[in-house]
Structure 1
Amino acid sequence: MTTSLTTYRRRALAGATAVVLVALAGCGESDDSIPATDTDGIVTYACSLVGEFEHGEPVDAWDWDSIPGPDSGEGFVNGTAIHALVGAGSTAPLVGHENLSEAADALFRGISEGEADDVENAIGDLVSACEEGGFADDEVDVTANGRIAYACALVDDNLATDQPVDEWIGSAAHADVEDRLVLTQAVGAAGLLGAPIAYEAPDHSEISAEAQRLYAGITRADTEMIGESLDELSGLCSDV
């Protein structure tokens, strides 16, 4: 069987990203700030973002005129990331966490429609679901840099599966657990980088632009665009 140049490139870039992430983890006292990229790790990161709502500005004080756009406020970026991470953004809820996906969908719908009360209610439901599951973790890095680091980890694991994009891009509620996870890793990376609301991470314009390209590919089910964008993101992640 012949291995394509693209496959070799995907493996090489994924490996390079893994080395960088390991090195970054080793620089601190603990690597607990970046959870695993399996289902439990993804939910932990999403719930840690939910926890930020309790410490941040009240919803009615958010700059609603900032979205969509490169200067979208933190609340909107975090809400978009949560929506993507728990499978609501891909209609493929993470197995066993359908309640989180439902609340995240209500959150994103409230953001999209400019309904602050709906956003408040959805946040309450998310907080309850995360507390019930015990997933929130105060040690997780949910800063702008932390979101980038976790997005890069998701890209790395997506590429490491070596699954052709056309095997998982159509995955939804009927798909098996593994395909849902691979799909969520790609959608979650784009969401963490604020792609659905055209956000630009400070000092990371290239990675933000590529995330938006990935998101566009996902919404169009354009397998070639998705594959190329994941490769490019992996390369950019190795330089972060």
Structure 2
Amino acid sequence: MSIEFSRRTVLKQFTGVAAGAALVSAGGTLLAPATALAADGTWRRSTSANGWSIPNARAPFAGTCDIQGTGLTVVLRQGDTATVLAYLAQRFHYDVARLESGRGEIVGYRADRKVRADFESNHLSGTALALYPETYPLGVTGNFFPYQVTAIRDILAELGGVVKWGGDTKPSMESMFFIDVPPQSQQLKQVAATLRAWQLTPSKGAGTQNVEDPKRMKASKELAKSQKS
């Protein structure tokens, strides 16, 4: 199942203001983690928060990827990362909310080192995907209906936990998904290989899942406990 808009879309202009205020101190300065951020919010490390390298130039480490079934594209780190995140976007389109041009921006790789939270630095390494970040902004929770959250949890479990959802981060950003394993992860390689095999199998892949299957729901809940902690 899929819907075009989430239940918080209409309210985001109000809740977004409140969320933004929560990230600002009484003196009016942005409250950023002390870890790898400069005072102006610039990410200073040569790797993103998830441990992946940040090249000085986009090519050739990142490239434009098709999000199958949508007619849309996104720039991601080439290889297994692109395979996994593009598939996630495809399933989001089918099972959570439709991805359509004109609704907002889909963000993969970006070169701007200004970030508001550590996990946003994952865009710099091409290992993060934000689906309509203006619709589902930083600090705003409850954007999705319960059945949409169930679908998101199912997607994460199907991907073997190699991707983390921004709904489980602090601060929360429910539009965000990022690779949550190191560059040499064998699990990532195995998941990507499975997804490529599914592309050649008509009965496999996005659009074929029953997210309410008891076994899938059990796996989703177990992963959620792990990723929330």
Q: TM exceeds 0.5?
A: no
Normalized per residue, which structure has more helix?
1
Of structures 1 and 2, the one scoring higher in RCO (CA 8 A, sep 6+) is 1
Normalized per residue, which structure has more strand?
2
